[in-house]
Amino acid sequence: MKIVVALKQVPSRDSALRVSGSWIDESDLSFEINEPDAYALEAALQLKEQHSGEVVVVCAGPDGAASSIREALAKGADRAVHIEEDGLHQADTLGLSTLLAAAIRAEAPDLILTGLQSDDLGSGQTGVVLAELLGLPSATIIMAVEVLDGAIRVKRELEDGWFQYVTLPVPAVLTIQSGINKLRYATLMGIKKAKTKELRTVSAADLGGLPAAQAVCEKVYLPGRAKQTQMIEGDAQTAAATLADKLKFEVRVI
């Protein structure tokens, strides 16, 4: 079984972010593998251990993304494709997915895994758009994958503790839910082996070019901090009902 994992490099969660125009200043940031994609990688590695095969990482990003790709190789991926392109923060989901689809199509995998969403933009759209571009069936919020004869059976997480089981033909695209497995660390032996594994670099131009963005981010800003007091009038029962509505629909904490 050949499994492709779409991986993204994002700023580290503990980074101090500074806004610079329509994006953040990346000059002194540290970067890491997008955590939801790390769970997709772990799911792929476990499937490989159970059924044998190959795990291929595909990552679009600047030259610095190679460090996260090497980390994925050190954890157990067999080889990688790096779509080297600067300024991908200006691309929309369709543009990024178009590049990934062009690289993945040449691999002809049995299964494509992505994280549920990215830690930076968090659109949660890449997996499903990728499936549409490749013309493949897809399922989201996957908790478990069972390999059948010519198909897979997946467990999807729904609301309120409910789950759904779906059988899909392969090849297929799955977006993996975070937290379903314990992430492995790269061993010293894995780090050494990663240096000898294939990391093929291609440009966006090699894949047909980055399409013009259909959605544009015009402004990035830090959330404002302001105190606001509302006086709720009426008797205790009316005030309690009004407060519950505000906490549920305005503050969204219940």
- pTM for the model stands at 0.83
The Cα–Cα gap between 254 and 244 comes to: 8
Supply the pLDDT for residue 51.
93
217-249 as b/e, with b when 16 or more CB fall inside 10 Å? eeeeeeeeeeeeeeeeeeeeeeeeeeeeeeeee
pLDDT interval class at 248 (50, 70, 90): confident
pLDDT interval class at 74 (50, 70, 90): very high
Beta bridge partners of 147: 152
Supply the pLDDT for residue 145.
95
Supply the pLDDT for residue 160.
85
CATH superfamily ID and name for 2-207: HUPs (3.40.50.620)
pLDDT(168) > 90: yes
Q: 28 Cβ partners below 8 Å, 6+ apart?
A: none
> What one-letter code names the amino acid at 113?
L
pLDDT(123) > 90: no
> CA torsion angle for 65, 66, 67, 68 (degrees, to 10)?
60
Share of the chain above pLDDT 70, in %: 100
Supply the pLDDT for residue 18.
80
For β-strands 138-147 and 172-176, DSSP reports them as parallel
Mean pLDDT estimate for the chain: 90
Residue scoring higher pLDDT (156 or 214): 156
pLDDT(21) > 90: no
pLDDT(20) > 80: no
Supply the pLDDT for residue 81.
96
